[in-house]
Amino acid sequence: MSVILITGAATGIGNLTARHLAASGHIVFASMRGVDGRNAAHAASLLDTAARDGVDLRVVELDVTSDASVQAAVDRVVTEAGGLDVVVNNAGHLNVGYVEAFTPDELLHLIDVNTIGVHRVNRAVLPHFRERRSGTLLYVGSTIPVTTPPFLGPYVVSKAAMDALAVTTAYEANAFGIETVIVMPGPITQGTEHFPNAGRASDLERTSAYRALDPLVAANEQATAGLLGPGPLQGAEGVAKEVVRVLALPFGAKPFRTVIDDADAGVEHVNWAAYQARAAFVERLGMAELLHPAAP
């Protein structure tokens, strides 16, 4: 049994992951913005599940764009549960449109949510993990840094940055026995609100300059769905189940990366090649011990 904090648990992957982890016997803090406001219904649903199923599933306010909110949430978890074992960095947002039409502030905002938000959470939890010389940083990333689809430019940038942040943070976390897992979902068109709630570029003049491409943008979600196999899809549910599976593995057996991709884009092969090159480079630096978490 672990004490687990999940960000972005109002809907989608985060919500399903919270439910599955609680059903597996963990103490789960499902965090979200607007627990008493915009997400009150989602929070109530999780709490109803906890009461009905007799699981330890709690809800906590957490806005990944606010240092104070993140720290308050982590402090509450540690105080209430007496510690913290795992953080699932899941919160994120999607933008769709032409890169040039997004203002610098819009690009910065998405990076703030998808990348800097992860860093805020890590800064709040790592002191606890370091003190105990244990813990798991689990990231819900994406296959997108490898597949790099069109018309999702700011999102691709932010998820690639988050992935790099996870990798570089892992070197230092490894030295303290803190494990890292990057779960990489492929495209998911059902079970999340990414596409319906996607942000759009505000510069309409720049957007209009690309009007010849509008039919491709309009068909983006349908085209993405067309990549998915005809058989049963893993989808958001499959990602949640994979998180549960990985966290049940003993120390040292957790994969650094795991891919759940109904589009079968071959991302695993790229991951393997990239790891081999990176590991060889780090070994040549004489720092091979940073590639794996130190034994407790």
Q: How far apart are CA 227 and CA 263, in angstroms?
A: 5
Among residues 186, 57, 168, the alpha carbon closest in space to that of 122 is found at 168
pTM across the whole model: 0.94
For this structure, is 155 an active site residue?
yes
pLDDT interval class at 193 (50, 70, 90): low
**Catalytic pick among 98, 139, 155, 275:** 155
Given a contact cutoff of 8 angstroms between Cβ atoms, the answer to whether 84 and 74 are in contact is yes
Give the range among 119-128, 137-146, 188-197 with minimum mean pLDDT. Answer: 188-197
Contacts 24+ apart (CB under 8 A), 281-289: 282/171, 287/171, 289/174, 289/175
Superfamily of domain 3-291: NAD(P)-binding Rossmann-like Domain (3.40.50.720)
Q: Tell me: the pLDDT tens digits for 211-230?
A: 999 999 888 878 888 888 77
Q: How far apart are CA 111 and CA 226, in angstroms?
A: 28
Among residues 39, 37, 38, the alpha carbon closest in space to that of 14 is found at 39
Strands (E), 82-237: 86-89, 95-96, 136-140, 179-185, 199-200
Q: Tell me: the pLDDT tens digits for 82-138?
A: 999 999 999 998 888 999 999 999 999 999 999 999 999 999 999 999 999 999 999
Q: How far apart are CA 129 and CA 103, in angstroms?
A: 38
